[in-house]
Amino acid sequence: DIVVTQSPDSLAVSLGERATINCKSSQSVLYSSNNKNHLVWYQQKPGQPPKLLIYWASTRESGVPDRFSGSGSGTDFTLTISSLQAEDVAVYYCQQYYTTPYTFGQGTKLEIK
Amino acid sequence: EVQLLESGGGLVQPGGSLRLSCAASGFTLSNYAMSWVRQAPGKGLEWVSGFFYTPGGIHYADPVKGRFTISRDNSKNTLYLQMNTLRAEDTAVYYCAKAVVNYWYFDLWGRGTLVTVSS
């Protein structure tokens, strides 16, 4: 199985500042046939289901604010929130969809400092 | 409106069974790969099972293999998860999730249904 590990487990950032969350997979999720990284980011707020933010490691889902961006390739990925807003308080998960079982990171809890 | 609505959760004793349902509206479920994802109380997300729309396209996570069965009723536009021989560690909110065409990431989630396995 591909193990997906996020860091840090929790993060406190001031409003308007940058937040960075890392995600590392135990093997590459770059698929040679399409040259795409099979890595996605979700946001989950309390009492709600996850919400798709970014797919193919760096493609923003429709309707997601452009302060959210994803980067990385192979085994190392980053979710960046360029200017933290109060509504961004949530737990963020990455997930690999390269191969079954489709594993998630353990989550990163983002709070306001 | 495009949505998924899970039902069927509840309290069950260890060793018991439950069947979860996920009714889709606003789209044809059989045109998409679908999955069940669970979340134990206060914990992270765990993929459980997936139903792809080609023959042989059914997958399970190791912890549920042999105990859970995913199925679909196209006439009812509904996905199911039959859960047998339930264990305390199966306690979780179970989400139904729609995959994006041929790839296993999820752009639509239901609100979830809580399964509690306890004596």
- For the segment A33-60, what is each residue's pLDDT rounded down to a tens digit? 999 999 999 999 999 999 999 999 999 9
Q: How far apart are CA B39 and CA B48, in angstroms?
A: 10
pLDDT in tens, B31-72: 999 999 999 999 999 999 999 877 678 999 999 999 999 999
Count of residues making up chain B: 119
For the beta carbon of residue B4, count every other beta carbon within 10 angstroms. 24
State whether B47 and A102 contact (CB < 8 Å): yes
Q: Say if B62 is an interface residue toward chain A (CB within 8 Å).
A: yes
Closest CA to B81 of B102, B61, B104: B61
State whether B45 and A95 contact (CB < 8 Å): yes
Which chain B residues are Cβ-neighbours of A97 within 8 angstroms?
A: 103-105
Cβ–Cβ < 8 Å for A93, A105? yes
Question: What distance in Å separates residue A95's CA from the closest CA in chain B?
Answer: 8
Q: How confident is the model at residue A88 (pLDDT cuts 50, 70, 90)?
A: very high
